[in-house]
């Protein structure tokens, strides 16, 4: 195991620093330091917990910070900084946990909650803003140091799971001259990066390693490791090689081709769990004329539903799951796998590939000779993402839509995607709330920055009737009625080919045999929950 042991030993008059469990007769004191080294598939883009709603960022934030509530591995809310709460219509009252301190020793109070929530809309240039999680909130008040009152615009059944996505920052540490207080750049350097979580920031060298140390002021159970070292390793084969060599203790997303071999290795343990991450293709449905990356026509063919349907029919989802994903995925017919909340059993049938029908639809839409398109994709963000994009490209080319793939490093891809440089792109969305409202509000509701919805709708799909159903569901407290509204709304998207669901990933971690980690449905690697095997 790649634990590092350091012992400061006094032998006679000399103090000698010794490593890896060295001992000396007559030692006066022993200090043992244990590091957990984790190989990440994607480096976080920022340390600012409110800059980018992206899994690599969120999982680091969840290790340094707490929300009023957190979520368990199945995404159910559980008490965290709020130990209890009550709701009366649109008014939620949270009683804060007593005696909690930030990692710098300062006390946690209701003012920190107010500061945190007020900062969210002030963070500039956010690629995927956290305003989505506060879209239902009207105002936040500190009633007294241990009580927070949150008033929503309408009854809000998802308030708890949404607040779980908003880690609480220290008002004292994160205040500053900018409108948002400490800027993203300052937080990236560690300035103001103070939380109540089990670990605290030590250093971050982009492209090399991120180091966190145990927060001795943490209010919860003491985690197993003195330090956590995260190393970005975008190449999957390199991650496996590092694990086998003992350079890291645990890795995310080993190559699907290697899973059988890794599971047979008695020195390793493989954790595999279903996720709620949908891999999808989004298409430009905003530009009426020329769309970036499309050649062979002066119009934007993606505005035509028949073209979008043809592109969907060209994709053999089962083949992608078996041949590209090695079985580590489930083909997708909807935005979430059934029976997650808001899904319909009637929409579980996987669309069958039909090349001839796809060609006929293209001809009917006025593109008998097809056209050319570039499909954008990250390379290394999702499991086999670039390979999946190449497979889709070959399937589209087969029906006459000549497709090339622009596979980019994740930070470059997201920057290009967020500036609308792709007519079509492959991406993923991990549900944080456990119900259909999350992908609908994030990916498909007509973008409205003021309301904090449609924040990642980069295809700019818009269906006012669907928008109304989602808005109605967001204030419907009755579960049955809310589920029916969400089923109807998602059905509209699928029937309209608003985006093309491809598959749901299975989440996989590989680690030394004497470690264990309970996989999470949101695919986050939360190293504080990695434990020695019992």
Token code pair at residue 424: 């079509």
The confidence score (pLDDT) of residue 28 equals 33
Confirm whether 11 is domain-assigned.
Answer: no
Confirm whether 4 is domain-assigned.
Answer: no
Report the C-alpha gap between 231 and 204 in whole angstroms. 10
Residues 463-475, mean pLDDT to the nearest whole number: 94
Say if residue 333 is in the same domain as residue 260: no
The pLDDT-based confidence of 219 (bands split at 50, 70, 90) is very high
Confirm whether 12 is domain-assigned.
Answer: no
Confirm whether 6 is domain-assigned.
Answer: no
Which range has the worst mean pLDDT, 19-23, 110-114, 273-277, 361-365? 19-23
Residue pLDDT, tens place only, 158-212: 899 899 999 999 999 999 999 999 999 999 999 999 999 999 999 999 999 999 9
Say if residue 327 is in the same domain as residue 222: no
- Domain span at 115: 35-267+513-532
Number of domains in the chain: 2
The confidence score (pLDDT) of residue 173 equals 98
Longest dimension (CA), the chain: 90
Report the C-alpha gap between 85 and 146 in whole angstroms. 12
The confidence score (pLDDT) of residue 276 equals 85
Say if residue 499 is in the same domain as residue 527: no
Say if residue 318 is in the same domain as residue 361: yes
Confirm whether 5 is domain-assigned.
Answer: no
Confirm whether 25 is domain-assigned.
Answer: no
Say if residue 311 is in the same domain as residue 233: no
- DSSP sequence for 62-105: HHH---SEEE-TT--EEESSEEEEEEETTEEEEEEPTT-B-TTS
Say if residue 218 is in the same domain as residue 305: no
Which residues are CB-contacts of 110 (< 8 A; sequence separation ≥ 6)? 96, 142, 143, 144, 145, 146, 147, 148
Say if residue 108 is in the same domain as residue 180: yes
Report the C-alpha gap between 127 and 108 in whole angstroms. 29
- Would you say 65 and 197 are in contact if contact means Cβ atoms under 8 Å apart? yes
Say if residue 435 is in the same domain as residue 520: no
The confidence score (pLDDT) of residue 33 equals 58
Residue pLDDT, tens place only, 115-144: 999 999 999 999 889 998 998 999 999 999
Say if residue 307 is in the same domain as residue 224: no
Confirm whether 383 is domain-assigned.
Answer: yes
**Closest among 336, 302, 283 to 458, alpha carbons compared:** 283
Say if residue 239 is in the same domain as residue 290: no
CATH number at residue 137: 3.40.190.10
Residue pLDDT, tens place only, 400-417: 999 999 999 998 999 999
**Closest among 495, 494, 488, 496 to 471, alpha carbons compared:** 488
Say if residue 306 is in the same domain as residue 431: yes
On the question of pLDDT at 13 being above 60, the answer is no
Residue pLDDT, tens place only, 63-84: 999 999 999 988 889 999 999 9
- Average pLDDT of the chain, as a whole number: 91
> What is the pTM (predicted TM-score) of this model?
0.73
More confident of the two residues 339 and 440: 440
Say if residue 521 is in the same domain as residue 454: no
Percent of the chain with pLDDT strictly greater than 70: 94
Distances (CA, A) of 57 to 154, 292, 491: 30, 29, 31
Q: Report the helix count and the strand count for the chain, using DSSP H and E.
A: 15, 22
More confident of the two residues 435 and 17: 435
CATH number at residue 352: 3.10.105.10
On the question of pLDDT at 1 being above 90, the answer is no
Which residues are CB-contacts of 23 (< 8 A; sequence separation ≥ 6)? 7, 9
């Amino acid at each position: 195991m790649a634990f590092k042991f350091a012992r400061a030993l006094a032998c006679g008059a000399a103090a000698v620093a010794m490593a890896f469990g060295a001992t000396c007769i007559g030692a006066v004191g022993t200090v043992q330091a244990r590091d957990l080294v984790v190989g990440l598939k994607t480096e976080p883009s920022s340390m600012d917990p409110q800059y980018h709603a992206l899994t690599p960022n969120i999982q680091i934030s969840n290790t340094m910070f707490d929300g009023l509530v957190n979520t368990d591995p199945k995404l159910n809310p559980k008490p965290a900084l709020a130990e209890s709460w009550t709701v009366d219509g649109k008014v939620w009252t949270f009683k804060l946990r007593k005696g909690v301190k930030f990692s710098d020793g300062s006390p946690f109070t209701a003012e920190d909650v107010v500061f945190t929530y007020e900062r969210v809309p002030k963070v500039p240039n956010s690629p995927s803003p956290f305003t989505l999680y506060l879209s239902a909130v009207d105002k936040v008040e500190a009633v007294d140091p241990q009580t927070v009152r949150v008033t929503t615009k309408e009854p809000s059944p998802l308030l708890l799971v949404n607040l779980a996505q908003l880690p609480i920052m220290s008002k004292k540490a994160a205040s500053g001259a900018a409108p948002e207080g400490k800027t993203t750049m300052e937080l990236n350097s560690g300035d103001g990066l103070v939380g109540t979580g089990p670990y605290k920031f030590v250093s971050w060298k982009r492209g090399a390693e991120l180091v966190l140390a145990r927060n001795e002021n943490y209010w919860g159970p003491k985690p197993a490791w003195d330090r956590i070292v995260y190393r970005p390793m975008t190449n999957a084969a390199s991650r496996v090689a590092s694990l086998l060599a003992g350079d890291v203790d645990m890795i995310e997303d080993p190559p699907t081709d290697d899973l059988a071999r890794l599971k047979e290795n008695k020195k390793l343990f493989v954790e595999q769990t279903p996720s709620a991450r949908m891999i999808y293709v989004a298409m430009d449905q905003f530009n009426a004329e020329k769309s970036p990356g499309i050649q062979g026509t002066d119009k934007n063919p993606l505005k035509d539903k028949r073209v979008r349907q043809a592109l969907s029919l060209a994709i053999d989802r089962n083949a992608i799951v078996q041949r590209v994903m090695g079985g580590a995925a489930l083909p997708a017919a909807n935005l979430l796998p059934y029976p997650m909340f808001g899904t319909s059993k009637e929409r579980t049938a996987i669309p069958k590939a039909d090349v001839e029908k796809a060609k006929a639809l293209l001809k009917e839409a006025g593109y008998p000779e097809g056209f050319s398109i570039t499909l954008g994709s990250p390379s290394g963000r999702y499991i086999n993402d670039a390979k999946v994009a190449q497979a889709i490209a070959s399937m589209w080319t087969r029906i006459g839509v000549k497709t090339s793939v622009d596979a980019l490093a994740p930070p470059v891809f997201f920057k290009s995607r967020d500036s609308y440089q792709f007519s079509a792109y492959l991406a993923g969305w991990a549900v944080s709330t456990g119900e259909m409202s999350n992908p609908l509000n994030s990916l498909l509701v007509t973008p409205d920055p003021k309301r904090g919805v449609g924040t990642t709708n980069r295809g700019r799909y818009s269906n006012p009737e669907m928008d109304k159903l989602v808005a109605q569901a967001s204030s419907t407290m009755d579960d049955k009625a809310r589920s029916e509204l969400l089923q109807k709304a998602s059905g509209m998207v699928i029937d309209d080919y608003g985006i093309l669901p491809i598959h749901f990933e299975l989440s996989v971690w590989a680690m030394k045999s004497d470690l264990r980690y309970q996989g999470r449905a949101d695919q986050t690697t939360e190293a504080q929950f990695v434990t020695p095997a019992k």
